[in-house]
Chains A and B, each alone.
Chain A
């Protein structure tokens, strides 16, 4: 079954404790992306990747890192989480830039 898998689905952490949210897709998609969704602000792009070893900043990259060492995986790293990073995060992938994206189920993060 074609899918985008995010882990964990829920995470509560404390300020400053490094964390990684994993994202994996099984569709051999080139384009992958991370979004955060906040009430009243819609979906905002954090980082995206056009292909392996190619990543670029989206609208709100501050405080986040990503890597794309393999085509299927695109982890999101928060080196030193802060409370303003409490949000619902979605990973997405698409065959190429510009085509419709498949979203993961989401990761709800709370930073205390």
Chain B
């Protein structure tokens, strides 16, 4: 079945440093979604990418979808303590299931 791998598993950064998490799928995706889960909370939808090579920005967050629609990345510029949490990618393939990556836990030192 479809597998979605996410790296790194954990990342410690100093406040103000940049952060990137990468997502790779074993199959071509119809779209990819990104979610953020704060400690003790539930996943919150951030964005969806649909087109090959698509790039979207939300303030300090930049999301990319690979040309082959099998990989994606989330980059945060100048991290803040409010960015702390686990970031998940989730891929939709031709079927109706949504497969989540294992998540990247971001910790920010003030």
Contacts and interface: CB of A to CB of B under 8 A. Distances in A.
Nearest to A41: B102
Interface residues on A, range: 20 to 34
A97 interface: yes
Interface residues on B, range: 20 to 34
B39 to A, nearest CB: 13
Contacts of A40: 102
A45 B97 contact: yes
Contacts of B101: 42
Given A41-B102, A45-B98, A98 B30 contact: yes
Contacts of B96: 48, 50, 56, 97
Given A100-B47, A101-B98, 19 more contacts: A35-B100, A40-B102, A41-B102, A42-B6, A43-B43, A43-B88, A43-B100, A44-B100, A48-B98, A50-B96, A56-B96, A59-B1, A97-B92, A97-B96, A99-B48, A101-B33, A103-B42, A103-B43, A103-B44
11 contacts: A42-B88, A43-B100, A45-B97, A48-B96, A48-B97, A56-B96, A59-B97, A92-B43, A100-B47, A101-B33, A106-B42
